[in-house]
Structure 1
Amino acid sequence: MQLDKERRVTKEIRFIAENELHNFFEYLSLQIAENGQGDVPLFQPMSADVSVMSEQMKLRFSQGVATHFPDAGWRKLWIATDEKKQICGHIDLRPLAEAHTEHRALLGMGVHNDARRTGLGKQLIKTIVSWARDETELQWIDLWVMSNNLPAIALYQKTGFIKNGEIEDMFRIDGNSYSYINMSLKL
């Protein structure tokens, strides 16, 4: 899926419909395949040689989207589409696994390579922050980011996330050591 490189503005950011998950999985599979390829930093803790979307990942998204907030296992997923209705980015929130963390949510996001550096990442974050503030009692949004993913870290800092800590040498992938950074945004 090649997006129009001239496109600079996303036409729509919206919740995904369950019947659109197949298209989302196609988009996400292509995005995950970019993990650690060329000048794209490793953004998923998996080898660049085997960066694929697993059936388990599809199942987690499918089950989460089908679960209403704030029921156990919920996931809210927004997609960004361009004027051709192609998915060019996504962002999701889901609960943390630990007990007594109902006031927090974990963020995951991605932007198609052709849509990076267009302001879409900021738009996606603004969308979920507005939803969380207006529609929920969430007080914090947390995320984990690979320490080598400097563009993502810069985006998160620009949108108000603060670094809470870093786990040094968290992953050893393809002979390299990677740290994992935890960041949070207070709503």
Structure 2
Amino acid sequence: MAGEAIIRPAASDDLEAFFAYLNDHLRDNGSGATALFMPMPRAASRFGPERETAFRHAFASALGQPGWRRLWLAHDSDGAIRGHIDLRARPEGACTHRALLGMGVHRDARQQGLGGRLVAVAAAWAASEAVLDWIDLEVLSVNLPARQLYARCGFVQTGETADMFRIDGEALAYTFMSLALR
């Protein structure tokens, strides 16, 4: 299925379907054999209305403006969203040459190469933008599949903070990784 997925930049008309997909995706956060991938309690893993509003505002912001965000979606042949990747401005004002990455792959499309394809699309776009030199990401250290994917895509671990989060009674570390675009 991932080989058939078409990856394209999202439009504002895609956001409602994206938020529905994302909330379904977040149901997997730390459930069963899936590693905890978002730093939020398993029972409260949801992209709420306040986050949707902030996402919409960032999505509408121009590259280079504080808080900008870009999103790509992978759709299967039936039009269902199978994965996403987004790049966004770092919150620190002196970091306009860097972007933060976020991504996810639908449970039915994992382990099929879609994650690597999504990273390649976002990295190619970022490399084409004269203002971006780096892509950074933050990943829960227990999420070994994601860390391995990012390493295969050229990201290098730049640090780790032990006991960054305490979620559902568990102390969790955060791994920081970066990809140089130039």
Is the pair's TM-score, using the shorter chain for normalization, greater than 0.5?
yes
- 2:13 is aligned to 19
Equivalent residue in structure 2 for 1:112, among 100, 106, 117: 106
Aligned residues: 181
Report whether the alignment pairs 1:182 with 2:176: yes
Checking the alignment, whether the CA contact within 8 Å between 1:144 and 1:181 is kept in structure 2 is yes
In the alignment, structure 2 segments of 5+ residues that lack a partner are: none
- 1:40 is aligned to 34
- 2:147 is aligned to 153
| 3-state SS of 2:4 partner | coil
| 3-state SS of 1:70 partner | coil
Residue 115 of structure 1 aligns with an amino acid whose one-letter code is A
Residue 11 of structure 1 aligns with an amino acid whose one-letter code is A
The offset of 1:29, in angstroms, is: 0.4
Report whether the alignment pairs 1:53 with 2:52: no
- 1:171 is aligned to 165
- 1:131 is aligned to 125
Report whether the alignment pairs 1:97 with 2:91: yes
Partner Cα distance (1:135, 1:168) in 2:
34
With structure 2 as the length reference, what TM-score do the two structures score?
0.96
In the alignment, structure 1 segments of 5+ residues that lack a partner are: 1-6
Segment of structure 1 superposing worse, 58-67 or 80-89: 58-67
Equivalent residue in structure 2 for 1:9, among 3, 11, 15: 3
Partner Cα distance (1:21, 1:62) in 2:
8
| 3-state SS of 1:107 partner | strand
The offset of 1:185, in angstroms, is: 0.3
The offset of 1:70, in angstroms, is: 1.9
Partner Cα distance (1:115, 1:57) in 2:
25
With structure 1 as the length reference, what TM-score do the two structures score?
0.94
The offset of 1:8, in angstroms, is: 3.7
Residue 142 of structure 1 aligns with an amino acid whose one-letter code is D
- The CA deviation string for residues 29-75 of structure 1, in whole angstroms up to 9 with x for no partner, is 00011101101111011111111111122112211111121222210
Residue 89 of structure 1 aligns with an amino acid whose one-letter code is G
Residue 109 of structure 2 aligns with an amino acid whose one-letter code is A
The offset of 1:174, in angstroms, is: 0.9
Q: Are residues 107 and 8 of structure 1, via their aligned partners in 2, closer, same or farther at CA, if it must alter by over 3 Å?
A: closer
Residue 152 of structure 2 aligns with an amino acid whose one-letter code is K
**What fraction of aligned residue pairs are identical, expressed as a percent?**
45
Checking the alignment, whether the CA contact within 8 Å between 1:90 and 1:110 is kept in structure 2 is yes
Partner Cα distance (2:72, 2:64) in 1:
16
The offset of 1:99, in angstroms, is: 1.8
Checking the alignment, whether the CA contact within 8 Å between 1:41 and 1:148 is kept in structure 2 is yes
- 2:67 is aligned to 73
Partner Cα distance (1:8, 1:63) in 2:
30
